[in-house]
Amino acid sequence: MLSQLEVNALLDTSARGLYGLFRRCALAVLNCGSNTDNAREIFETYRDFGIHLMQTNRGIKLRLENAPGSAFVDGKMIRGIQEHLFTVLRDIIYVHNEIHLNPNFDLNDSSHITSAVFHILRNARVLHTGMDPNLVVCWGGHSIGRTEYDYSKEVGYELGLRGLNVCTGCGPGAMKGPMKGAAIGHAKQRIGNGRYLGITEPGIIASEPPNPIVNELVIMPDIEKRLEAFVRAGHGVVIFPGGAGTMEELLYLLGILMHPDNAGHAFPLILTGPEKCTEYFDNIDRFIGSTLGAEAQQHYRVIIDDPTEVAMGMRDAMDSVKATRAGGNDAFYYNWQLKIENDLQQPFKPTHKAMAALKLNRSLAPHVMAANLRRAFSGIVAGNVKEDGIRAVEKHGPFEIHGEQDIVTAMDHLLISFADQNRMKLQGDYSPCYHLLA
Task: Give me the mean pLDDT over the 196-219 stretch.
Answer: 92
Q: Are residues 125 and 171 in the same domain?
A: yes
Residue 295: which residues within 8 A CB-CB, separation 6 or more?
258, 366
Task: Give me the mean pLDDT over the 300-326 stretch.
Answer: 97
CA distance 179 to 196: 6
pLDDT at 56: 76
CA distance 40 to 37: 9
Q: Could you say which of 327, 358, 384 is where a domain stops?
A: 327
Give the amino acid at 174. A
Q: Are residues 432 and 291 in the same domain?
A: no
CA distance 85 to 193: 22
- Could you tell me what percent of the chain has a pLDDT over 70? 97
Q: Are residues 73 and 145 in the same domain?
A: no
Burial of 125 (0-12, 13-18, 19+ CB in 10 A): exposed
**Helix, strand or coil, per DSSP, at residue 242:** coil
Q: Which helix (H) or strand (E) holds 273?
A: strand 269-273
pLDDT at 117: 98
Q: Are residues 398 and 318 in the same domain?
A: no
pLDDT at 426: 53
CATH assignment of the domain containing 52:
3.30.1850.10
Q: Are residues 170 and 51 in the same domain?
A: no
114 domain residue, yes or no: no
pLDDT tens profile 370-414: 999 999 999 988 887 777 888 888 899 999 999 999 998 998 889
**pLDDT band at 422; cut points 50, 70, 90:** confident
Q: Which range of residues forms the domain containing residue 21?
A: 4-104
**pLDDT band at 307; cut points 50, 70, 90:** very high
Q: Which range is most confident: 20-34, 38-52, 71-85?
A: 71-85
The dihedral of CA 158, 163, 167, 170: what is its sign? positive
pLDDT at 428 > cutoff 80: no
pLDDT at 324 > cutoff 80: yes
Q: Which helix (H) or strand (E) holds 38?
A: none
Helices within 12-145 (DSSP H only): 19-30, 39-45, 79-94, 110-123
Q: Which of 136, 135, 153 is nearest to 144 (CA)?
A: 153
| Total-model pTM | 0.91
pLDDT at 358: 93
pLDDT at 244 > cutoff 90: no
> Is 302 or 208 the better-scoring residue by pLDDT?
302
CATH assignment of the domain containing 280:
3.40.50.450
Q: Count structural domains, the chain.
A: 3
**pLDDT band at 351; cut points 50, 70, 90:** very high
> How confident is the prediction for the chain on average, in pLDDT?
91
Q: DSSP string covering 348-414, please?
A: ----HHHHHT----TTS-HHHHHHHHHHHHHHHHHHHH-HHHHHHHHHH-SEEEE--HHHHHHHHHH
Q: Are residues 358 and 250 in the same domain?
A: no
